[in-house]
C-alpha cells in the first residue's frame, strides 16, 4: 500500500517585528515557502524518495537570500562565511554532514555526497571542500554568499559588542527590518523533512550560523541527533534555534527517543522538547517533524517561525506567526 507523501520546511524562528506586521512584508516569505513546497511536493508525487525531496527543498532555501543558508548567509566576526549542512535517510539511518565550509555553493549537496560516499558522517573545513571538489560539486568564491544586508547586520553586531544567533541583527538598531520576524532576534537555520510513497522518511538542514560568531564555531545543524535526525520507525526532524542548547539536549534525536521509549506521539514528543527541555536551559527556537504515519508537527517557543507543509496533492500551507 502506497503512503500519501508529505513534506514540511522551515526557514528559521524568531520574534514578531511589530513594525512589519503587514501582508506586504510577509508576502515574499509566503511566496518563497510556497514555491519551495510545491517543488518538493511535485517531486514526491512523481514517486521520488523523501531524501530527494528534502535535498531539493533545502537547495532552494540555500539559493533564497531571505533565509540564512547559502546565498545570503550571515558573516563571522572575521567577515567571512562558514556554512553547515546535514542530511539523514530514515530507511537505513545513513547520514552525512559538512561544517565550516565557504566555497561550496550548496552545502546540502556536499552533506549528501558525504552520506553516499559512506566512509564518514561529518567532514569539516578544508577537508570537506576538497571532498566536494573531488565529487564535482559546484564551487564558488566566498563573496557569492554575501549580501549587503548581512554585512550591515555584522557591523551592527560588532558595534554592539555581541554575538547574535543565526540571522540576528538586522533590526537591532534600526527598528523595522522589513521582515515579518525581527531580524534582531531570529534564528536563521533552514530545513526540510519528508515522507515518501514508500513510507520512508528523510531530513535535511542547512545554515550560515551566527552573525559575528567566532571563526570555527559549529552549531547543531550539521550534528546528527542535535539539529537533524530521521528514522523510518519514528520521525524525521529538522531544528532551528539556539544551536548550543539543541546540542546539549540532543533535541532532534530526543523527539524520536521519546516516541520509542516513552510511547509518546509525535506531537507529545515534539512539544515536550520545544516547550520543556529547551526552555529549561534557556533554549529558544523550534523544529519541524513528520512521523511514519504522515503526522506533521511544527512547534516553536518563539513568537514566530517561517514554516509550511504540503500533503498529497493538497495546496501547500505556509505560516509565520501563531
Q: pLDDT, tens digit, for every residue of 182-222?
A: 776 777 899 999 999 999 999 999 999 988 889 999 999 99
168 in Cβ contact with 185 (< 8 Å)? yes
pLDDT in tens, 118-129: 999 999 999 999
- Cα 12 from Cα 167, distance rounded (Å): 8
pLDDT of the residue at 211:
86
Residue 134's nearest CA partner among 126, 142, 143, 145 is 126
Catalytic entry in 76, 189, 228, 318? 189
The reply to whether the predicted model has a pTM over 0.85 is: yes
User: Which domains are delineated in the chain?
Assistant: 6-321 (3.60.20.30)
For residue 96, the cross-strand partners are 87
279 in Cβ contact with 4 (< 8 Å)? no
Mean pLDDT of the 237-256 span: 97
- Strand pairing category for 94-101 and 122-124: parallel
Q: Which residues contact 155 (CB under 8 A, 6 or more apart)?
A: none
Residue 234's nearest CA partner among 263, 256, 209, 207 is 256
pLDDT in tens, 47-104: 999 999 999 999 999 999 999 999 999 999 998 999 999 999 999 999 999 999 999 9
**Helices first, then strands: H and E counts in the chain:** 9, 13
156 in Cβ contact with 203 (< 8 Å)? no
Residue 268's nearest CA partner among 248, 285, 289 is 289
Residue 189 among the catalytic residues: yes
Amino acid at each position: 500500500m502506497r503512503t500519501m507523501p508529505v513534506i514540511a520546511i522551515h526557514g528559521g524562528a524568531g520574534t514578531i517585528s511589530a513594525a512589519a506586521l503587514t501582508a506586504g512584508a510577509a508576502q515574499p516569505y509566503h511566496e518563497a515557502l510556497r514555491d519551495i513546497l510545491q517543488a518538493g511536493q511535485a517531486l514526491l508525487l512523481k514517486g521520488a524518495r523523501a531524501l530527494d525531496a528534502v535535498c531539493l527543498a533545502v537547495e532552494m532555501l540555500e539559493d533564497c537570500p531571505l533565509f540564512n543558508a547559502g546565498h545570503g548567509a550571515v558573516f563571522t566576526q572575521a567577515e567571512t562565511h562558514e556554512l553547515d549542512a546535514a542530511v539523514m535517510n530514515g530507511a537505513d539511518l545513513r547520514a552525512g554532514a559538512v561544517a565550516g565550509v565557504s566555497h561550496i555553493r550548496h552545502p546540502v549537496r556536499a552533506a549528501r555526497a558525504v552520506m553516499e560516499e559512506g566512509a564518514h558522517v561529518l567532514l569539516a573545513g578544508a577537508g570537506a571542500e576538497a571532498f566536494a571538489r573531488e565529487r564535482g560539486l559546484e564551487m564558488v568564491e566566498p563573496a557569492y554568499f554575501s549580501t549587503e544586508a548581512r554585512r550591515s547586520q555584522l557591523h551592527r553586531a560588532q558595534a554592539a559588542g555581541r554575538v547574535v544567533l543565526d540571522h540576528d541583527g538586522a533590526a537591532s538598531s534600526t527598528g523595522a527590518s522589513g521582515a515579518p520576524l525581527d531580524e534582531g532576534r531570529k534564528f536563521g537555520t533552514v530545513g526540510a523533512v519528508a515522507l515518501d510513497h514508500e513510507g520512508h522518511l528523510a531530513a535535511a538542514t542547512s545554515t550560515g550560523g551566527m552573525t559575528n560568531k567566532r571563526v570555527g564555531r559549529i552549531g547543531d545543524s550539521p550534528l546528527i541527533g542535535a539539529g537533524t535526525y530521521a528514522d523510518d520507525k519514528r520521525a524525521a526532524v529538522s531544528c532551528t534555534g539556539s544551536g548550543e542548547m539543541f546540542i546539549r539536549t540532543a533535541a532532534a534525536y530526543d523527539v524520536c527517543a521519546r516516541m520509542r521509549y516513552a510511547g509518546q506521539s509525535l506531537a507529545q514528543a515534539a512539544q515536550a522538547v520545544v516547550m520543556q527541555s529547551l526552555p529549561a536551559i534557556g533554549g529558544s527556537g523550534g523544529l519541524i517533524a513528520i512521523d511514519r504515519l504522515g503526522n506533521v508537527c511544527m512547534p516553536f517557543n518563539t513568537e514566530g517561525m517561517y514554516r509550511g507543509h504540503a500533503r498529497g496533492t493538497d495546496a501547500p500551507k505556509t505560516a509565520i506567526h501563531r
